[in-house]
Amino acid sequence: MLHELLLSLLGYTGDLVIDDRQRPDHSISDQCTFKLASDISFIQSSERDIIEKTIKLGFYYRELDRFATKSRNLSWIKFGNEPSVKNQSVYRRAIANGLVEVLSVYRSAVLHMEQKLLSDPLPILTTVTQSLNKFFVLLPPLYELILEIDRDGISGGKLLNLLHKRCHCGVPELQTCIQRLLWHGHQVMYNQLASWMVYGILHDQYGEFFIREQEGNSEREASSPTNMAERLARMSVDDGSLSDWHLGFHICLDMLPEYIPLHIAESILFAGKAVRVLRNPSSAFRSVDARHKKLMGDELLPQSESDKIESMLINLKESSEFHKRSFEGAVDSIRAIAASHLWQLVVVRADLNGHLRAIKDYFLLAKGDFFQTFLEESRQLMRLPPRQSTAEADLMVPFRLAVTKTISDEDKYFSRVTLRMPAIGTNIKSSKVNVSKSKFVDGDSNLSSDTSLEMSLDGWDGIALEYSVDWPLQLFFTHEVLSRYCRIFQYLLRLKRTQMELEKSWESVMQQDHSKFSKRHIERANGSTSQQRRQCFRPMWRVREHMAFLIRNLQFYIQVDVIESQWNVLQTHIEESRDFAELVEFHQEYLSALISQSFLDIGSVSRILDGIMKLCLQFCWKMENQETDASTYDLERITEEFNKKSNSLYTILRSSRLAGSQRAPFLRRFLLRLNFNSYFEQTAQGVMNVIRPTPAIPPLQR
């Protein structure tokens, strides 16, 4: 009887201990099926209770052994018929290895108890219970653990979470046992971390690691609509080489253990992606860099650094317990190594600062002479509506002329800049202005309607720049970054074009006036009419000066107070930082500051500014075509509308929400320059509610 009892403790039933399971299979039973045979009559009730309590250990052992055998079964490798991924788990296999260790201790205890019973002339049941006493607190919780794992299909980071929670118990023996199981699970995680952070390889056959490879990004990206700026940005970079960095991998929160903070997981993700970049440079970069190998070093990521990263992970792996502080410290150190070498690659080897200066020169109009020449050469072209099929080709003629006049051969970055003109469609309205034919519609429909003012200023406002970026600068100049630069460029180019038109209109009007003044000596009869015409349009000249004053100050504010000040801040960060991720963050702050301090993200302000620029262009074209009474009437309407919008702009900008906040630290200087003689402040009072009558300009006499 004792031998049969010992066999039942190892999961084997017989005549004394029977298995009450109805159908034998390999699934884990959710309740104990080991029973003492009911026809045994020579056992007293007290002994029966002890035996029934003891044989439960045999049931737990059998179920634990079945789980371990099932999880560790690799026979499919021999026959080549791999089971479905759903049924496989490297983490469960590791936990099964830990269970095997526990079960081997249990078997040794049973064997030792058998020897003790055989050596005792009068064996008693108390010997059995006394020898296996500690397993009464170990095996039942372990059985409940594997039952939950098998029933819910828990694996990967979820399994580590479950074990971590079960570690917090008041039984030291059980805590030690589950900590050992958790240690086995962490061995798998550390191996995956080593593969990812040392070699940049994601080794996750069954989808259990918290770093996942993104799926289906290219399809979703191809189907999503994009605006012109985004399309131009996408044309500037190679999508294939960027897939790994920007869209290739992400954090799977379901598999992230709760005791690993999200920012640490993000550091792990960044380090692995950085190592992938450093270990897999593009072929073009590799061939160019080979010439400078002696100056730059032998490798992008030296072997000594890889060994250092690996040694940190080995130290974590060999620790008997998971120490959160040590783990986070090691991850931060590894991330710092990867970020430093990535910074060296992008900033030093790829000349990041040179490209930033080139983008500032062309996208932020720092090369003012080039764009001034371009706008002057294309001025007559832009007076006409852009043609659907040849708009970009038409622009290339003045663009090349401006290049010839202002860009030197030593500018090695200009070859990366390309002028683009989008196809004329619903988003870009063609110009309604034709000076030579004077095709202006009635002023009421042009100026009194807010909807027409909120339309695109001109068909040429879609002019954009494309900047060609090579590896590895694609990591820094993303599609989003280039599209934001393109948006700022279009705004600044409209502003500069408006300023140039105001200057050119004054020059043209003065030439006309001087020409008529000289004719007055020849034709004395028309002298009074010329003098009247001059007096008639003198108020319009003052309006032009008000427009030029506002546009000049706005341009000065954006170019000097916003762009130059933020550029100096960015340069300071570049000099002080040695971390690529920090550099990306600083650059994003730089771009956000440019957009916010230029009011591009405030719809009401940007709409008013667009309306003002449109009014200025219309005013200039009207001033140069001042031969009819209708033109005079339109000038009055433009003047009234400009006064309303300029005063509305001043009222919004001087509000406490903008001027009193840190959003635009130099806004007060701009307002001071605008209102240096309190003109704006006086005229802005009541302008939103009261429309003051404007002095009528007497009609011209013929």
Which helix (H) or strand (E) segment is 464 a member of? strand 464-467
What confidence category does residue 660 fall into, taking pLDDT thresholds of 50, 70 and 90? low
- Give residue 531's identity as a one-letter amino acid code: Q
Rounded distance between C-alpha atoms, residue 172 and residue 451, angstroms: 76
Tokens of 411: 């500018």
Question: What pLDDT is attached to residue 566?
Answer: 93
Residue-level pLDDT at 434: 38
Q: Spell out the residues 6+ positions from residue 592 whose beta carbon is closer than 8 angstroms to its own.
A: none
Three-state DSSP string of 57-112? HHHHHHHHHHHHHHHCCCCHHHHCCCCCHHHCCHHHHHHHHHHHHHHHHHHHHHHH
**Is 444 exposed, middle or buried (CB count within 10 Å of its CB: 0-12, 13-18, 19+)?**
exposed
Residue 29 has pLDDT above 80, yes or no: no
Sign of CA dihedral 623, 550, 654, 677: negative
> What are the tens digits of pLDDT across the range 373-405?
999 898 888 888 888 788 888 889 999 999 999
Split at pLDDT 50, 70, 90, the class of 661 is low
Q: Is the dihedral of CA 88, 92, 97, 99 positive or negative?
A: negative
Token pair of 635, please?
Answer: 């000038």
pLDDT at 641 over 80: yes
Range of lowest pLDDT (311-320, 458-467, 499-508, 653-662): 653-662
Q: Are 476 and 584 in contact (CB under 8 A)?
A: yes
Query: Does the pLDDT value for residue 197 go beyond 70?
Result: yes
Question: What 8-state DSSP symbol labels residue 473?
Answer: G
Q: Are strands 34-36 and 249-251 parallel, antiparallel or unpaired?
A: unpaired
Is pLDDT larger for residue 506 or for residue 590? 590
Could you tell me the end-to-end alpha-carbon distance of the chain, in angstroms, rounded to an integer?
134
Q: What is the arithmetic mean of pLDDT over 520-526?
A: 54
